[in-house]
Amino acid sequence: RGIHEAGAEAFGAPPEGWTGKNYIGRVEQDCIPTESWAQFYTEQRVLPFARRANLHPEILQKVEKACGNIVKHADAPEFDVPPARIHGDLWAGNVLFSADGVVMIDPAAHGGHPHTDLAMLELFGTPHLVDILAGYGDPDVDFALHQLHPLAVHAMTHGSAYHRALGDAAAEVLQRYGN
């Protein structure tokens, strides 16, 4: 939570002083600062990966429509958060537990929505998730919405095993934010 509370200049803003590239795994991703979380998330996180994932046209269309609806609802209260400094690739393998505490490794740090990190932890089954969420006051995280990015990345990098999950997440987003 402390990392998220550190804030960021804008959505997509790299950490202060960082001039290098931003990666998720081995894949470069844009980090162009913007004032709109919905615009940043859809244009720099979800769509670039989904469009390179060799998805079935129906799934890609569903993802693109979900992204369009996210942008249409950019003023929704759940999107109206200040930019948080997020890890950006926060899955269980990047969280190390030791007697001295928790250490996070391999960041793709940028200004984003804190629920994106929480949703990624849930997606890939991190230990102690209940405790982590409790540390946030048990937030109402829209997991499907915030999992579109990691699912699109995995659909592109790991193939068809993630295509259905991405399509299902997009369908959930469409249900919540209109068809």
Is the pLDDT confidence value at 65 over 60?
yes
Question: What is the average per-residue pLDDT within 79-98?
Answer: 85
Please state the domain count of the chain: 1
**CATH at residue 63:** 3.90.1200.10
pLDDT computed for residue 4 by the predictor: 66
pLDDT value of residue 5: 62
Residue 104's domain comprises 2-176
Residue 46, burial from CB neighbour count under 10 angstroms (0-12, 13-18, 19+): buried
Which tokens sit at 54?
């060799």
**80, 48 contact by CB (below 8 A):** no
pTM of the model: 0.90
Inter-residue contact 107 to 24 (CB < 8 Å): no
Cβ atoms of residues 84 and 113 within 8 Å: yes
Using pLDDT thresholds of 50, 70 and 90, give the confidence band for residue 2. Answer: low
Residues 6 or more apart whose CB falls under 8 angstroms from that of 149 comprise 41, 45, 46, 49, 116
Helix axes 57-72, 143-158, angle to 10 degrees: 140
Residue closest to 88 by CA, chosen among 48, 115, 126: 115
For the chain, what percent of residues have pLDDT higher than 70? 96
pLDDT in tens, 43-61: 999 999 999 999 999 999 9
Collapsing DSSP to helix, strand or coil, 18 comes out as: coil
